[in-house]
Structure 1
Amino acid sequence: MSSLNIATRALTTNMAALQVIGHNIANVNTEGYSRQTVQLQNAGYQSTGGGYFGKGVEIATVDRAYNAHLTREARITASTAAGDAARLERLEQLEALFPMGDKGLGSALNDMLNAWADLSASPSNSTARSVVISRADAFAARLRDTAGQIDLLRNSTQQQVGEHVDAINRLATELAGVNRSIIETAGGSHVPNDLFDQRDKLLADLSQYAQISVVPGEGGSANVFLGGSQPLVLGTQTGKLAVQRDPLDTSRINVMFTQGALATPLDANTLGSGALAGTLRFLNDDLSAIQNQVGRIALATSSLINQQHQLGVDLAGNMGGNFFVPTGPAQGLPAPTNASAATAAATVSNPQALIASDYELRVEATGFSVRRLSDGTTTALATLPAEIDGLSFSIGAGPAAVGDSFRIRPYEGAARNLQVAIAAPSSLAVASPVLVTPGTGNSAGMSVESLYARAPSANLTDPVTLTFNADGTFSATGLGPGNPPPDNPGPPASYNYTPGQPLQFNGWSLTLRGTPTAGDSFAIGAAPSSAIAQNAGNANGMLALRSLATFEGTALSDGYVSLFSDVGSRVQNAQFSAAFSSNVATTAEQARANVAGVNLDEEAARLLQFQQAYQASAKFLQIAQSTFDSLLQTVGR
């Protein structure tokens, strides 16, 4: 009878081995599947008078090909790659909003500034005046369109963050269900391999969205923590993530960890890697920084052009008004915890000193502090209003309480709302309120390149005479207060002269060319109304804005170049990070797959091996059965 048992046990054992091999082959393309192997063992022995005889073979267990270290490394590197890829995808969409060439924002800016050149040559030409307004309209429209596209990209990115959060919550629920099944099998003598594969697959999927920490639980279940130490899955219990708009900045969103009635905001940095972290980084860092730069171009350009236009004279002899509709003060968003009803605001005081950043204004026991959020630079102030980074910060609506804070976004709506204020060509302030008259006895060695008002001054139209000395310096008479002191004490007191370098006094700027002769003179004073039609002084002032250092030393006309360079630099860095992390993740996954993956060639060899063993067992069973039947027949006689 023992031979029949051995044969039967061998048949069933080899059939089980073939079943496992078939399971492997069937799941060769199943993501997350780990190769399984039947572990065989001797079925024991029995003692007889003739010695010890074996009982054949039996299955010890079915092992899962698994390496904890390689699996963890593959999970972490895949998380990093997913985060880099998600950020790169969004940055490439952002880059598409900033083309170069004729369709670029830089071309529109320079077309608008250069359009004043025709007015400089023909100040009364109505066509040239209309072209200036048309180019300004095109520039404003380009900025509004860019701002609108940024808003659309922001909205779609916020929706994507919500989708990532929903996916994390769904996966956490599924993992808790698998944990329940694993715990229910705990205490048995065998391992539920397929359940463990499901567990590891869910962990890998979770890590695609955020960096997770995994702590082993009961029976091989997985406890998952994210955001530093928040328990997303504890055995069969789950927490949840939720999306909430930042109360201090509605363009930003926060991810909240909720457990029961308790909601805890998660710092984006603590999410580490994963698609959620990468998308949040783009949304709250990259996109906000670029939006601020676009807004700064709009705010600085419109403010500088408005200032210069207001210093000119239109065809009716009136001082110029706003060329662009002025941007109002940026109102601060009060923190929910503020104890007073005070308000805060910031207005542009120096367009050349603007920094593309949001700010936090805080009321301190000793006064106030303003923190630049782009780099964390904090400035302490005793009183307000005060100027920082070209902005004048102020507090209104009553006294503020110590601890009150406000988020101020000076550039958030600057590009979105930019509009041209000038409608009629005759309203363009092309003329200058000051005029220069060369002396009648001047030599032919000097010429006037331009004269225009550069700043408001009570002494702007006061008569001033510049007289050149034999040493090439010049003396000035009629200057008002606040002008630079003479370079040379004299006598006579004099200023140095460099051809082509602007001479700036009383709020005007005069540029001369050539080599002076002793006695050459130039008289500057109020421009007569009869010369307005031929006066292009303020058009020259507008053209001079092109080279004005505006964006951290960059000329106004090159402001778009610095913006595009920043976008390009972010994309290039993201491309490098994404390519590098993808290669690392691919290598790590390959190492894991080499251990846990199914090799069809190997399975084919094992299939043949156990097929032959099964056939031999069947033959042995046939022989045992025949022998047993013969024995019965003999005994039966």
Structure 2
Amino acid sequence: MSLLLNLGARAMNASQTVISTIGHNIANANTPGYSRQTAVLKTATPQFTGAGFQGKGVAVDTINRVYNRFLTQEAYGSRAAASGDEALLLNLQRLEKVLPPGEAGLGKAMSDFLNAMVDVASRPADPAARQVVLGRTKEMATRFSSAGAQLNDLQAGVSSDLRANVQVVNALAKQLANVNGQIQRLNGGEHDTNDLLDQRDNLIYEISKYVTVSTLEAEDGSMGVFIGGGQRLVLSNQAAELVVEQDPYDSQRVQLALKGPTNTLPLDAALLTGGSMSALLSFQNRDLQDARNYIGQLATALTMRVNTQQSLGLDLSTPSGAGVALLAVGAERVLPATTNARDIAGNFLSNVTITRVDPDFLQASSYILKGDPALAGTYLLVRESDGFTQSVVDGQTIDGFRIDFDPLLAPPGPLDTYRLEPVANAAPDMRRVLDLPAGIAAASPVSAVTTITNRGSATLDSIFAVDPATFTPANFPAPPAAPTTVRFTVQNPDGRVNYEITGPFGTLAGIWTPGQPIGNEPGIALGFEMRINGVPKGEDLAATPPYFGDTITLVPTPYPAQNNGNVKAFIELQGESFVGKRLNPLTGDISAGATLNEAYSAAMGEIGSRVQGTEYLAGVSDQVARDADAAKAAEAGVNLDEEAARMMQYQQAYQAAAKLLQVAQTVFDELINTVR
């Protein structure tokens, strides 16, 4: 009789446990990270009787958690990638708005500025035309400075977002360490703490949204979580603390570090692959820095060329003099690493400065200067835009800027490093510095006069100084001194014409090619360019009388208010490919540069290309993450229809077990009645 009662009781208890587990599944069907649980039943140990082993019913063996380690790890990794791509895309889209096309763009502002010079070329002395130039100059400078300020705002946003993310990750890490501790305390038996394991895995999943993690499960059930190439974030019931630190070079930029009990370990951003924090660091260190250099290169190249041309022309002051600067930009920056050698007072033992010297060769890049480990006392310069590395010495000019070591201090040590930024800081501080319309140097310091007896069709198009290093007014004396003259000599079959320039410097020979200027070519370094229309006539010594060739006389400009030579040089800047020329230090070859608008279009195109590429990757990675979550849910998630069917199944089993108890009770009652 007792066996029958035990069979019914065991059956009811097993069915009740299964139904309770099903109810637990149903209750947590929408709980993030919950894994379906199943009650595992087994037959109870049988009892030996004279007739053999008699079954004793059913027993609950354990309650299992449906878990697939591979799918769980896939969910971690894919979610980290998706979160990183999403964060990077959001910031790239913000960056793209800083460099707009069309009317609101920097390209339009530069074109408007240079186009305003056309009216000055038509009316050199007109104050209204000159005032328009000043207005366009200010508008252009304002757009550049506004773009630079927006980039600074983006940097501030990155720093703020990183700090917010770090707070979330630290909170999650502490929760995970606490859950690990609970698992350790409760994991002494044969059964798993299923709900705590779910909490543990879900916390790791949430952390992976911010940074890619690797995990290692300990024998006690706790999970170690590592980031940044193996650095401990959570181990056992202890959580490390993530902190946001100042970049070792730039106080405006930040980096991540793990704070320990005795020291703080910076994390290599290159090893923080995946997650929103990795994306923010990548955006800061690559995309944002590239954008600073793109617009900084434009601002600096244009400003230096305009100011140089200003200095080569004549303004309308009384008496007329060389023009002064029209624009200014932010200065070059040298950022020493915080780890560089210092004296006992905390001052750096060495110092490095850089100076822009040639706007045409300035690159849209920052540089790292460091000691050469292969040779003491020598230094390497790494161009960050492409990784090109070359040896440098004190006073050397590379990519349009000169590097100087402070002569009053020791040279940089072998472990000292510097970040050099020739152009990155230029745009935020770009401004107009000339306020007087008369200060625009529209006139050329030298004028040209064609001889009335010339037989060719050549007429003067323009003449202006181009190189302050070689242009000397003394080479073009005023009467009564003998003037400087250009005489065309031999007429070549290919249309070119030989010429000679005679002046205080002697006689120099060159060859005029249609469309090319005279005066600034190999062998004739006089620092000016003269362009002519038509074709000059060379000498004809066989004629009667002999003809000695067309001549052009070069003299100082007598009336600057009526001369537009220098303003034509400004206008020509728009079509000149001078931005970003590059000298190959090995071959000496010079690669062609870009025009101002081409350089701006290239910058817009590069940022736009990154946006499109990241947009595509974000879509793909999001779908991969969804698929990984779906695959995990398909195996470990709760299907309410299945749970309802199983509940009905075990409800019937429970009812049958109850019926068995009822039968046992009836038999027992009958037995009692018989005894009576």
TM-score, structure 1 length as denominator? Answer: 0.94
- Structure 1 counterpart of 2:556, which letter? A
- C-alpha contact 1:183 1:218 (8 A) present in aligned 2: no
- C-alpha contact 1:332 1:345 (8 A) present in aligned 2: no
- C-alpha contact 2:332 2:425 (8 A) present in aligned 1: no
- C-alpha contact 1:312 1:538 (8 A) present in aligned 2: yes
Q: Which residue of the partner structure matches residue 410 of structure 1?
A: 422
Moved more, 403-412 or 567-576: 403-412
- Structure 1 counterpart of 2:472, which letter? N
- What root-mean-square deviation, in Å, do the aligned CA atoms of Structure 1 and Structure 2 show? 2.0
Q: Give the 3-state SS of the residue equivalent to 1:495 in structure 2.
A: strand
Q: 1:602 aligns with which of 636, 642, 657?
A: 642
The 4+ residue runs of structure 1 with deviation greater than 4 A are: 326-329, 479-483, 500-503
Q: Give the 3-state SS of the residue equivalent to 1:243 in structure 2.
A: strand
- Structure 2 counterpart of 1:452, which letter? F
Q: Which residue of the partner structure matches residue 537 of structure 1?
A: 565
Change (3 A) 1:283 1:150: same
Structure 2 CA distance for aligned equivalents of residues 192 and 481 of structure 1: 96
Moved more, 439-448 or 144-153: 439-448
- Structure 2 counterpart of 1:244, which letter? E
Structure 2 CA distance for aligned equivalents of residues 290 and 567 of structure 1: 8
- C-alpha contact 2:517 2:529 (8 A) present in aligned 1: no
Q: 1:527 aligns with which of 544, 553, 557?
A: 557
Offset from partner CA, 1:48-91 (integer Å, 9 cap, x none): 34443221112111111111111112211211121121111111
Offset from partner CA, 1:133-178 (integer Å, 9 cap, x none): 1001001100111111111111011111112222222111111111
- Structure 2 counterpart of 1:541, which letter? A
- Structure 1 counterpart of 2:435, which letter? A
Moved more, 359-368 or 300-309: 359-368
Q: Which residue of the partner structure matches residue 513 of structure 2?
A: 497
- C-alpha contact 1:342 1:397 (8 A) present in aligned 2: no
- Structure 2 counterpart of 1:247, which letter? P
Q: Which residue of the partner structure matches residue 377 of structure 1?
A: 388
Q: Give the 3-state SS of the residue equivalent to 1:96 in structure 2.
A: helix
- C-alpha contact 2:84 2:278 (8 A) present in aligned 1: yes
Q: Which residue of the partner structure matches residue 217 of structure 1?
A: 218
Residue 509, structure 1, aligned to residue 541, structure 2: no
Structure 2 CA distance for aligned equivalents of residues 206 and 459 of structure 1: 68
Q: Which residue of the partner structure matches residue 580 of structure 2?
A: 551
Q: Which residue of the partner structure matches residue 192 of structure 1?
A: 193
Q: Which residue of the partner structure matches residue 488 of structure 2?
A: 468
Offset from partner CA, 1:538-587 (integer Å, 9 cap, x none): 11010111122213411123321121112112212212222222222222
Offset from partner CA, 1:98-155 (integer Å, 9 cap, x none): 2111011111111111111111111111111011110010011001111111111110
Residue 353, structure 1, aligned to residue 361, structure 2: yes
Q: 2:406 aligns with which of 393, 396, 406?
A: 396
| Long gaps (5+) in structure 2 | 343-347, 477-482, 539-548, 582-592
Offset from partner CA, 1:291-342 (integer Å, 9 cap, x none): 1211111111111110011111111211101111365453443643324533
Q: Which residue of the partner structure matches residue 433 of structure 1?
A: 445
Structure 2 CA distance for aligned equivalents of residues 479 and 332 of structure 1: 49
- C-alpha contact 2:249 2:338 (8 A) present in aligned 1: yes
Q: 1:321 aligns with which of 316, 320, 324?
A: 324
Structure 1 CA distance for aligned equivalents of residues 205 and 371 of structure 2: 47
CA drift of 1:394 comes to 1.0
Q: Which residue of the partner structure matches residue 580 of structure 1?
A: 620
Structure 2 CA distance for aligned equivalents of residues 48 and 171 of structure 1: 58
- Structure 1 counterpart of 2:341, which letter? N
Q: Number of aligned pairs?
A: 625
Q: Which residue of the partner structure matches residue 274 of structure 1?
A: 275
Change (3 A) 1:479 1:330: farther
Structure 2 CA distance for aligned equivalents of residues 105 and 173 of structure 1: 48
- C-alpha contact 2:224 2:236 (8 A) present in aligned 1: yes
Q: Which residue of the partner structure matches residue 79 of structure 2?
A: 78
- C-alpha contact 2:330 2:427 (8 A) present in aligned 1: no
Structure 2 CA distance for aligned equivalents of residues 363 and 254 of structure 1: 24
Moved more, 296-305 or 576-585: 576-585
Superposed, 1:219-234 pairs within 5 Å as 219-234=220-235
Change (3 A) 1:242 1:526: same
- C-alpha contact 1:500 1:513 (8 A) present in aligned 2: no
- Structure 2 counterpart of 1:539, which letter? V
Q: Which residue of the partner structure matches residue 170 of structure 2?
A: 169
- Structure 2 counterpart of 1:300, which letter? A
Residue 257, structure 1, aligned to residue 258, structure 2: yes
Q: 1:629 aligns with which of 660, 669, 675?
A: 669
Offset from partner CA, 1:189-217 (integer Å, 9 cap, x none): 21111111011101111211112111111
Moved more, 100-109 or 585-594: 585-594
- C-alpha contact 1:319 1:429 (8 A) present in aligned 2: yes
Superposed, 1:98-247 pairs within 5 Å as 98-247=99-248
Change (3 A) 1:197 1:363: closer
Structure 2 CA distance for aligned equivalents of residues 581 and 78 of structure 1: 8
CA drift of 1:378 comes to 2.6
Change (3 A) 1:480 1:241: farther
Offset from partner CA, 1:258-305 (integer Å, 9 cap, x none): 221121111001112211111111111111111121111111111111
Q: Give the 3-state SS of the residue equivalent to 1:249 in structure 2.
A: coil
Offset from partner CA, 1:490-541 (integer Å, 9 cap, x none): xxxx51421455652511111112123333222122111xx21210111101
Structure 2 CA distance for aligned equivalents of residues 524 and 105 of structure 1: 38
CA drift of 1:363 comes to 5.5
- Structure 2 counterpart of 1:521, which letter? T
Q: Give the 3-state SS of the residue equivalent to 2:253 in structure 1.
A: strand
Structure 2 CA distance for aligned equivalents of residues 334 and 585 of structure 1: 39
CA drift of 1:617 comes to 1.6
- C-alpha contact 1:335 1:406 (8 A) present in aligned 2: no
- C-alpha contact 1:79 1:207 (8 A) present in aligned 2: yes
- Structure 2 counterpart of 1:618, which letter? A
Q: Which residue of the partner structure matches residue 8 of structure 1?
A: 9
Q: 1:446 aligns with which of 455, 458, 463?
A: 458
Change (3 A) 1:607 1:46: same
Q: Which residue of the partner structure matches residue 489 of structure 1?
A: none
- C-alpha contact 2:297 2:424 (8 A) present in aligned 1: no
Change (3 A) 1:569 1:300: same
- C-alpha contact 1:430 1:539 (8 A) present in aligned 2: yes
CA drift of 1:452 comes to 1.1
- Structure 2 counterpart of 1:474, which letter? N
- C-alpha contact 1:466 1:474 (8 A) present in aligned 2: no
- C-alpha contact 1:547 1:555 (8 A) present in aligned 2: yes
Residue 455, structure 1, aligned to residue 458, structure 2: no
Moved more, 359-368 or 59-68: 359-368
CA drift of 1:482 comes to 11
CA drift of 1:446 comes to 2.2
